[in-house]
Amino acid sequence: MLATLTDEHFSDPGWIYERKFDGVRAIVVRRDGRTELYSRNRKDMTGTYPELAEALDGQDLPDLVADGEVVAFDDGRTSFERLQARLGLTDPQRARETGVTVYLYLFDLLAFDGADLTEVPLRGRKRVLRRALHWDDPVRFTTHRNGDGERYLDYACAHGWEGVIAKRADSPYRPGRTKDWLKFKCVRDQELVIGGWTDPGGARKEFGALLVGYHPTAGDTRLRYAGKVGTGFTEATLHALRERFAGLDRADSPFDRPVRERGAHWLAPELVAQIGFTEWTRDGRLRHPRYLGLRDDKPATEVVREG
């Protein structure tokens, strides 16, 4: 179940409000005494975050399916950039050797002990979830506030959070994007598809900027150009991204309209990046974009403009 971005913030007793994390979405599946973690595009992340699976394996739990977010902290704030060190790792030992401490925040329960809970109202699902587990690090319960969304958003922004997720308290669990869950953001960022890169200039190596875009709607094969991203890279990031480009080169642009960037090279539109920015311009370009990291938990075909 995915939230829809909105700029219309509100307070309503029929809604609950949770902290928006800057992490990686995780579906937790417990069956026959073993716990597995999956991304939203069904990739197995158990080896990427072995300590989270082991923490749940250590509890006496029945079979269940739960929804949550894997996060790492940087100076008290959840940081998607910190999680980049574990991106693509499937060997538990290598994942631990990154030194990145991770936590699992659970916020929903889809099935428990043979019962399908997706039709149970959200408040009820969260009540069962809270009672079902022992909440010891690195597994944490996602608390919420009732009704007071605007004040909670003010608090979130003042403390450097990503924002708040507003959820209709009586809503069932429905896969896909919905207006029963809404995103109130303090900062602007979103996923975009990498469609190319430009030649490096000056002392920079590997490449100069990423050329990024989005699909008009999920599943649409057209790719709209959103601009070039030339900041947010370390030398290690530049090198790692250049390696990821291998095998994706193509002769023609993947964008549906001409892109006139000097020294442009084109890629098959398969890689998804998280990009921070200040606003969208009138012509659909990003203003002051900054690279935050790669995402491997969402198909590029589902990347659309959020706002």
> Which ranges constitute the DSSP H helices of 12-148?
50-57, 80-83, 92-97, 122-132
Work out the end-to-end distance of the chain between its first and last CA atoms, rounded to an integer number of angstroms: 19
* Closest C-alpha to 193, from 258, 82, 89, 286: 286
User: Is-cis flag, bond preceding 289, omega within 30?
Assistant: no
Tokens of 45: 């992340």
| Catalytic residue list contains 20 | yes
Q: Report the helix count and the strand count for the chain, using DSSP H and E.
A: 6, 22
Within 8 A by CB and 6+ apart from 283, the residues are: none
> Which ranges constitute the DSSP H helices of the chain?
50-57, 80-83, 92-97, 122-132, 149-158, 235-244
Q: Looking at 20, 167, 185, 228, which residue is catalytic?
A: 20
Confirm if 38 and 30 have CB atoms less than 8 A apart: no
Catalytic positions are 20
